[in-house]
Structure 1
Amino acid sequence: MPRPAVDPARAAAIKSLRQAAGRWLKAAREAAGLTQAELAERVGLRYYTFVSQVESGLGRVPIESQAAWAQAVGLEESAFARTLLRHYEPELYRLLFGDDAHEDRASA
């Protein structure tokens, strides 16, 4: 079955959400007083450039390492994961948490 065409508006919205997640992560890292290299070391990354990619919205924090990232920047794990879910998978976030998403937006 052929893949459906990518909707440009949806692609732009996804890019915007990823960039917002990146800004949020960068702010959390900076608030923790960490450089990209220090964060990379704390979460077991070989290269700090992955942190840069995530902060620019080009990459995502893998689910299996979200707890380590949360601990490294001093945030509560479930709140960290929930914020990333809202940015990375907004429809799943809506299904799980309803339209009360506006309450979480204030923390982003």
Structure 2
Amino acid sequence: MYSHPQQGKSPETAELRKRVGVWLQTLRDARGLSQRQLAGALGIDYYTFISQVESGRGRIPPDRYAAWAGALGVELKPFVRVLMRHYDPMTYECLFDDVDSDLPSFDALKTIRQ
């Protein structure tokens, strides 16, 4: 039976989403943004969506990756790569060799945006 982790509710999928959610919260905190402020910057009506993403109960829609990267002040490609690693690990493993490495630090992703 085929199981796609992007859609699944397995313990492994839940753990990956929680892990990237904590990372996203760290990025938001580093920018000094509340969940409500980030939601406003992203044009999201309900700040509870930010909470869902950060807790691993939701995920960022692919068509919103650039907006999230911009709001969090990070480079788009490394940001999406981290998301892919956690949202779609099978595809990530096919594309990249660094499956066992840790998440990049905030310092490795941040850009200076005045």
Q: TM-score range by the shorter chain?
A: 0.7 to 0.9
Count residues in correspondence.
100
**Identical counterparts, % of pairs:** 44
TM-score (norm 2): 0.81
* Cα deviation 1:2-54 (Å, max 9, x = unaligned): xx497xxx811110000001000000000011000010011110110000000
Moved over 2 A (4+): none
CA distance in 1, matches of 2:10, 2:66: 28
CA distance in 1, matches of 2:38, 2:90: 29
Question: Unaligned regions of 5+ residues in structure 2, if any?
Answer: 4-8, 106-114
TM-score (norm 1): 0.86
Instruction: Report the 3-state secondary structure (helix = DSSP H, G, I; strand = E; otherwise coil) of the residue aligned with 1:101.
Output: coil
Larger radius of gyration: 1
Q: CA deviation at 1:106?
A: 3.9
Question: Unaligned regions of 5+ residues in structure 1, if any?
Answer: none
Residue 85 in 1 paired to residue 84 in 2? yes
More helix by share: 1
Aligned twin of 2:14: 15
